[in-house]
Amino acid sequence: MRLQRLHLQGLRCIGDLTLDLDPGFNVLVGANGAGKTSVLEAAFLLSHGRSFRAGARDVLIQRGAAGLSIFSTVVHDDGTVHRLGLGREGARWEARLDGEHVAIGDLIRECAVVCFEPGSHALIAGGAEERRRFLDWGVFHVEHEFLPTWRRYQRALKQRNSLLRSGSTLDDRLLSPWESELARAGEFIDQWRRSYLDALLPFLRKQAALLLPELGAVQLRYRPGWPEDEQLATVLVAQRSRDQSRGHTTSGVHRADWSLSFEHAPQREHLSRGQEKLVALICVLAQAWLDAERRGEWPVVCLDDLASELDQAHQAAVVQSLQGASAQILISGTEPPGVLGSVSVKMFHVEQGYLAPLL
C-alpha cells in the first residue's frame, strides 16, 4: 500500500503542508527542527493512532492551534483507494474513513506503516511495554478479533485490580467472573502472540544475516506473563493474596515480554549501542516483510534520520534490501543519504514546517 497525498495541519511546527508522495523512495531533507520527523510521525499516527515519540499527546498540536489533522489517500495494491483522516481537538481523537466517522481501530486497519527512528532502540533497551506494543500491532493487523479481545482483557483487569484495592476480604464470587474473563481473553492473546512470533522468526533471521552476520544465530525468547507450565486461570486464583498486597494483578498477558539473543551476544548487555539500534531495525524490517507476506502488500516503511543512526555500510545494506521490495519508503535526514546513489527518489526540502523549492 502507499500514501498518495499527505496533508497535515497543526502538527508540531507544521501549519499546513501537502506532500504528493512517490510510490517508491521519498527523501525529506532539511535542517534540525525543520519538521521532517513530524511528517513521518503523521504517517505513523495514521497507522498506530499514537506517536512513536514519547510525551503528552497535547504537544503534537501546534502551539496556539485548536487542533491537528492528518489526511491521506491510501492506495492498496489491489487498486482500492481510501481516504483516511485523523484529527485531534482538545483531548479527543477523531477518525474518518472515506468521509465517515469511524473508530480509530477501523482507520488503522486500513493503513500499515512501520518506522525506524532514533527512539526505536527502546525496543531492545527499553521496558517490556514497547515490545508488547510492537508485537500487538503485528497481531492486530492480521487477527481481526485481537482488538475486541484485548478490550475485554483490559476491562477484566481493571475490575480485578479495583476489587483487590477495595480493601475488602477476597470474595471468590466477586473475583471469579473477572478472573475467568481475564484467563479466557488472555489465553487467546497469548496464542496469537506466539504464532505471530513464530512467523516473524524466519524474517528476523534473514534480516540479522544481512545486517548483523557477525553476531551469529538468532534465538527468540517469549515470556507469556505467567509460568509457562500453568494455566492463567489457576495462577490468578493462587496469587490473589499476593496481588492484593501489591495492589495489582501481577500475572497475565499485560506482563508478557520477548527478546532476541545472538550466538555471540547472548545477553543484551553484550550489544553495543549501535548494535542495539541494528537489532531494533532488524525487528522493524522483519515486521514489514511479514506484514507484506501476510497481507499481500507492503506497509509503508519510514526511516527517520537514517544517516545519523547507521554507518554507511549498514545504510547501503538497508537500501539495497528495500530496493528489492515494492514498498513506499520515506527517509529523512539533514542531508540526502549518500548511499542512495543511483536510486530514483522524490526529494522534499522541509523548512520550518513548509516545503521549500528544491534548488
Q: Which residues are documented as binding site?
A: 30-37
Query: Can you read off the three cell numbers belonging to residue 196?
Result: 505471530
62 belongs to the binding site for ligand ATP (CB under 6 A): yes
CB of 31 to ligand ATP, least distance (A): 7
Query: Can you read off the three cell numbers belonging to residue 3?
Result: 500514501
The CA distance from 328 to 47, in Å, is: 14
In this complex, which beta carbon is closest to ligand ATP, that of residue 63 or of residue 92?
Answer: 63
Residues 27-56 binding ligand ATP (CB under 6 A) are 30, 32-38
Please name every residue paired with 70 in a beta bridge, in sequence order, or none if there are none: 8, 86
Considering only the stretches 57-65, 71-79, 154-162, 266-274, report the one whose residues sit in contact with ligand ATP under the rule CB under 6 A.
57-65
Q: Look at the chain and count its residues.
A: 359
59 belongs to the binding site for ligand ATP (CB under 6 A): yes
In this complex, which beta carbon is closest to ligand ATP, that of residue 52 or of residue 262?
Answer: 52
In this complex, which beta carbon is closest to ligand ATP, that of residue 37 or of residue 315?
Answer: 37
63 belongs to the binding site for ligand ATP (CB under 6 A): yes
The CA distance from 122 to 5, in Å, is: 31
Q: Which residues carry a binding-site annotation for ATP? A: 30-37
Q: 330-349 mask for ligand ATP (x: CB under 6 A)? A: --x-x---------------
Q: 73-112 mask for ligand ATP (x: CB under 6 A)? A: ----------------------------------------
In this complex, which beta carbon is closest to ligand ATP, that of residue 312 or of residue 334?
Answer: 334
The CA distance from 257 to 129, in Å, is: 8
Residues 295-314 binding ligand ATP (CB under 6 A) are 305
CB neighbour list of residue 260: distance below 8 Å, 6 or more residues apart: 124, 204, 218, 219, 220, 221, 279, 282, 283
**What are the residues binding ligand ATP (CB under 6 A)?**
12-13, 30, 32-38, 59, 61-63, 305, 332, 334
